[in-house]
Amino acid sequence: MNFGASPPSSDDSGMSSFVENPQYFCGIFKDKDMCVQHIKRQDIVLKWELGEGAFGKVYLAECANLSPDSDKMLVAIKTLKDANESTRQDFQREAELLTVLQHQNIVRFYGVCTDGEPLAMVFEYMRHGDLNRFLRAHGPDAHILEEVKMPPLGQLTLPQMLHIAGQIASGMVYLASLHFVHRDLATRNCLVGDMGEGLMVKIGDFGMSRDIYSTDYYRVGGRTMLPIRWMPPESIMYRKFTTESDIWSFGVVLWEIFTYGKQPWYQLSNSEAIECITQGRELERPRTCPKEVHCLMQGCWQREPQQRLVIKDIHSRLLALVKSPPIYLDILG
């Protein structure tokens, strides 16, 4: 199917969906003159629609001539609708920014397609979809979730959960080294693929907004949508986003992993969650979470930003736990 046709929807395809992940924000932009690769429209063949984000539709596609090792590759195509001058400039800036990001735990950006309409960005395709759905599909409650079917992998083990957390931490170490602030780190914004017999987890730069995640965001001022359940007090009260606020969010990501994808403060409304966070209450320790991991979470949730753990230390401690997983019981002491 040629680029621009109307492929079948993701509901018909059964493929996992991506979710919206706002742009990274950066204080220092290195390698400004790095060239953005341009991909010919005739090299892209759409397979089906994965969903629709705030700026356009996202498709699964085959793309030729991306790699000398492969004739065709599966990719995700993020299109831009309503390409006026302002959105075109934003598109160009985002492409330049994404070109800079080169890391094994950041979703790979291949380039842009700008010869004709719609404008499009080309990313690697992660076959298992977003991490939140993956966690739910491999958790103890998978059998009661109608939208997921338990894949052959079965329920995730402690070593696998530690490995997932370590890969996300690795990607965040890289972003922090470039002075990037993510602002929306969550399992819904990480993607899962295969790596040999194991799993590869990457922080995503694109996706789609799905109804399943609408309750993860709190509408402020009519338009702005904030992921308040993942935000520290200073971000909620003063809209201050820093590397330290990303650390807080990483602690919540750890909590998500060890609850198999539950929503933080799931028993509370958004306004009640805001009250809990700003008053200093913490998420409860997950039943399957070793005390060593819970200590990491608590180190991420220090009220004073400068007292929070740094991502390099978190990554190192997770790697140590991967090499020598702690023993835990499904009983909280």
- 256 labeled part of a ligand binding site: no
Q: Give the integer Cα–Cα distance in Å for 137 and 123.
A: 24
Shared-domain flag, residues 316 and 193: yes
Please give the single-letter amino acid code of residue 52: E
Shared-domain flag, residues 215 and 106: no
Please give the single-letter amino acid code of residue 285: R
For residue 145, the model assigns a pLDDT of 76
For residue 325, the model assigns a pLDDT of 86
Domain count, the chain: 2
For residue 146, the model assigns a pLDDT of 62
Strands (E), 41-91: 44-52, 57-67, 70-80
Q: Does the residue 10 lie in any domain?
A: no
The model carries a pTM of: 0.85
Q: Does the residue 6 lie in any domain?
A: no
Q: Count Cβ atoms below 10 Å from residue 124 Cβ, excluding itself.
A: 17
Shared-domain flag, residues 204 and 239: yes
Q: Does the residue 7 lie in any domain?
A: no
- 240 labeled part of a ligand binding site: no
Query: What are the b/e assignments for 230-262, b being 16+ CB within 10 Å?
Result: bbbbbbbeeeebbbbbbbbbbbbbbbbbbbbbb
Shared-domain flag, residues 181 and 312: yes
Shared-domain flag, residues 104 and 155: no
Shared-domain flag, residues 226 and 277: yes
Final residue before a domain boundary, out of 94, 124, 154: 124
Shared-domain flag, residues 303 and 217: yes
CATH number at residue 86: 3.30.200.20
Q: Give the integer Cα–Cα distance in Å for 191 and 183.
A: 17
Shared-domain flag, residues 171 and 38: no
For residue 87, the model assigns a pLDDT of 83
Q: Give 159-211 pLDDT, tens digit per residue.
A: 999 999 999 999 999 999 999 999 999 999 999 998 777 899 999 855 444 44
Catalytic site positions: 184
Q: Does the residue 4 lie in any domain?
A: no
Residue 77, CA distances (Å) to 52, 54, 58, 221, 227 in order: 11, 14, 5, 31, 25
Q: Does the residue 9 lie in any domain?
A: no
- 137 labeled part of a ligand binding site: no
- 125 labeled part of a ligand binding site: yes
Shared-domain flag, residues 165 and 310: yes
Q: Give 20-31 pLDDT, tens digit per residue.
A: 334 444 443 444
Query: What are the b/e assignments for 166-192, b being 16+ CB within 10 Å?
Result: bbbbbbbbbbbebebbbbbbbbbbbbb
φ/ψ of residue 91, rounded to 5: -60, -45
Shared-domain flag, residues 189 and 318: yes
Q: Does the residue 134 lie in any domain?
A: yes
Domain range enclosing 185? 129-323
Give the residues of the chain that fall short of pLDDT 50.
6-33, 207-212, 331-333
| Burial (0-12, 13-18, 19+ Cβ within 10 Å), 306 | exposed
Final residue before a domain boundary, out of 85, 105, 124: 124
For residue 162, the model assigns a pLDDT of 97
Q: Does the residue 195 lie in any domain?
A: yes
Exposure on the CB side of residue 251, measured as CA atoms within 13 A: 27
Shared-domain flag, residues 92 and 183: no
Q: Does the residue 200 lie in any domain?
A: yes
